[in-house]
């Protein structure tokens, strides 16, 4: 019966034209966050006071200090009546726990490459994941205003990268534009040095398809990201693949062990502009945030109680870096800084685990523990 229902859902799929789910791929410091700032400013939906600071998507303290993206984030803007969900992806392979999951929410990708540096290793890593997921690419050769820019050569290098990563003729025949995120223009002419980002927004609507959904099929939503609120606890974020989700409705949650657990979606939000807004209902193709379901993990599927059809479970990349937190045994210990106990460190690490599932935290035995009788913790990322 389940296979028949799935077959019926597949035959009744449609493509939504009122929404675009787009991931942004770029190496560190190739201008990804500056591009998003520019699109937000030129979309005409925001007050000047809302966009006063730069690098709006780099909301974490460490992200703003280092100028890198660590955690994936979503914002939404509207262009010509179409809602564009922009999904900011980490630009570093060390944050692979974020990358593969968030790409599941997208149908297309903006591939941003520096006009002087060309494709870099971290662009290769995320682009490879995007091509595996068959996301439709739009290439942006950015920073063409640099004196050492070489846009034509870089475009050839991007094509070579696509072919090396196994892109077929369809994906390798990508549309492209030349741009300067800092100066706020995009064009199909590499010699242009003025204008707006309208050509890029128009290209997104033209070349990146809307999500293919089954609105009449039973509810299925794969949890791909977690957030945390001190008021409502864990918040599950994902794209609704089929059916609709209503605030307060009863659902089933498919767990890692294959069990179906009853739950209730007590809170429902959709992405709008720079944040999320409360909604009574979200339909297939929407990226939604659901609260009130505890405990919930990455890879769980929210299903209809009438006809549960769990989606294939996601795997989270294992940590690539290990770090030990222990007592400061330096000769300069205690001379400066804020004094923190092991309990403070543990509480901070456990709080990070609520939203960052690429971390592992475990207590360990160590030389410091044997010497002073106090515990240490190991953080893996």
* Domains assigned to the chain: 10-212 (3.40.50.300), 215-303 (2.40.30.10), 322-380 (no CATH)
What distance in Å separates the CA atoms of residue 264 and residue 276, rounded to the nearest whole number?
20
Does position 26 have pLDDT exceeding 70, yes or no? Answer: yes
Task: Give the pLDDT confidence score for residue 71 in this predicted structure.
Answer: 42
pLDDT tens-digit series, residues 307-334: 999 998 876 666 667 888 777 777 877 7
237, 228 Cβ separation under 8 angstroms = no
Task: Give the pLDDT confidence score for residue 356 in this predicted structure.
Answer: 66
250, 128 Cβ separation under 8 angstroms = no
- Average pLDDT of the chain to the nearest whole number: 80
Task: Give the pLDDT confidence score for residue 279 in this predicted structure.
Answer: 93
Does position 91 have pLDDT exceeding 90, yes or no? Answer: no
Does position 5 have pLDDT exceeding 50, yes or no? Answer: no
What distance in Å separates the CA atoms of residue 220 and residue 240, rounded to the nearest whole number?
6
pLDDT tens-digit series, residues 274-299: 778 899 999 999 999 999 887 888 88
Q: Which helix (H) or strand (E) holds 28?
A: none
372 contact partners, CB below 8 Å, separation of at least 6: 327
Max avg pLDDT among 8-22, 40-54, 106-120, 305-319? 106-120
Mean pLDDT of the region 200-219: 93
What distance in Å separates the CA atoms of residue 294 and residue 263, rounded to the nearest whole number?
8
Task: Give the pLDDT confidence score for residue 77 in this predicted structure.
Answer: 87
Mean pLDDT of the region 122-126: 83
Q: Which helix (H) or strand (E) holds 230?
A: none
Q: How far is CA 53 from the centre of its chain?
A: 21
pLDDT tens-digit series, residues 242-276: 999 999 999 999 988 888 999 999 999 998 877 78
DSSP state of 214: B
Task: Give the pLDDT confidence score for residue 294 in this predicted structure.
Answer: 79
**pTM of the shown model:** 0.76
Q: Are strands 108-114 and 136-142 parallel, antiparallel or unpaired?
A: parallel
């Amino acid at each position: 019966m389940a296979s028949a229902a799935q077959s019926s859902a597949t035959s009744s799929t449609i493509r939504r034209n009122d929404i675009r789910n787009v991931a942004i791929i770029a190496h560190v410091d190739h201008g990804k966050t500056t591009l998003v700032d520019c699109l937000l400013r030129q979309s005409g939906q925001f007050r000047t006071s809302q966009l006063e600071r730069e690098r709006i998507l780099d909301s974490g303290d460490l992200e703003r200090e280092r100028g890198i993206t660590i955690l994936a984030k979503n914002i939404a803007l509207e262009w010509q009546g179409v809602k564009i969900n922009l999904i900011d992806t980490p630009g570093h392979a060390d944050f692979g726990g974020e990358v593969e999951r968030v790409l599941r929410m997208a149908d297309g990708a903006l591939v941003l490459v520096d006009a002087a540096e060309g494709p870099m290793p971290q662009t290769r890593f995320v682009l490879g994941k995007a091509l595996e997921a068959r996301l439709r690419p739009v290439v942006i050769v950015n920073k063409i205003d640099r004196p050492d820019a070489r846009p034509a050569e870089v475009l050839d290098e991007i094509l070579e990268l696509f072919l090396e990563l196994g892109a077929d003729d369809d994906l390798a025949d990508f549309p492209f534009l030349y741009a300067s995120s800092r100066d706020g223009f995009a064009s199909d002419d590499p010699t242009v040095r003025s204008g707006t980002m309208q050509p890029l927004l128009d290209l997104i609507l033209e070349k990146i398809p809307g999500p293919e959904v089954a609105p009449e099929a039973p509810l299925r939503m794969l949890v791909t990201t977690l957030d945390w609120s001190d008021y409502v606890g864990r918040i599950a974020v994902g794209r609704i693949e089929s059916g609709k989700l209503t605030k307060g409705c009863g659902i089933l949650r498919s767990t890692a062990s294959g069990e179906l657990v009853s739950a209730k979606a007590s809170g429902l939000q959709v992405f709008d502009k720079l944040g999320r807004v409360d909604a009574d209902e979200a339909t297939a193709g929407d990226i939604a945030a659901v609260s009130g379901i505890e405990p919930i993990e990455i890879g769980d599927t929210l299903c209809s109680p009438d006809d549960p059809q769990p989606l294939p479970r996601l795997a989270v990349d294992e940590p690539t870096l290990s770090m030990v937190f222990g007592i400061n045994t330096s000769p300069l210990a205690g001379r400066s800084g804020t004094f923190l106990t092991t309990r403070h460190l543990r509480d901070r690490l456990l709080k990070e685990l609520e939203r960052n599932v690429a971390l592992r935290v475990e207590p360990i035995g160590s030389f410091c523990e044997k010497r002073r009788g106090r515990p240490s913790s190991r953080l893996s990322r």
